């Protein structure tokens, strides 16, 4: 019985660690995507102002 407790505890903490790493990666990637979105929107507004 001790084997299964140790096995599932290890599996749980491994999964928790992988989730934490993925959450950090997605957060950083999302930040850069939003920053590039606002940069492209600003460029588009500037182009429209130049044409008017």
What average pLDDT does the segment 32-40 reach?
A: 96
User: What is the per-residue pLDDT for 7?
Assistant: 97
- What is the pTM assigned to this prediction? 0.70
User: Would you call 52 helix, strand, or coil by DSSP?
Assistant: coil
Is the Cα torsion angle 44, 49, 51, 52 positive or negative in sign?
A: positive
Q: How far is CA 34 from the centre of its chain?
A: 11
């Amino acid at each position: 019985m001790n084997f299964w407790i140790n096995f599932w505890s290890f599996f749980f903490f491994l999964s928790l660690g992988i989730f934490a790493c993925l959450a950090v990666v997605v957060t950083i990637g999302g930040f850069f995507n939003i920053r590039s979105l606002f940069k492209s929107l600003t460029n588009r507004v500037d182009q429209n102002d130049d044409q008017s």
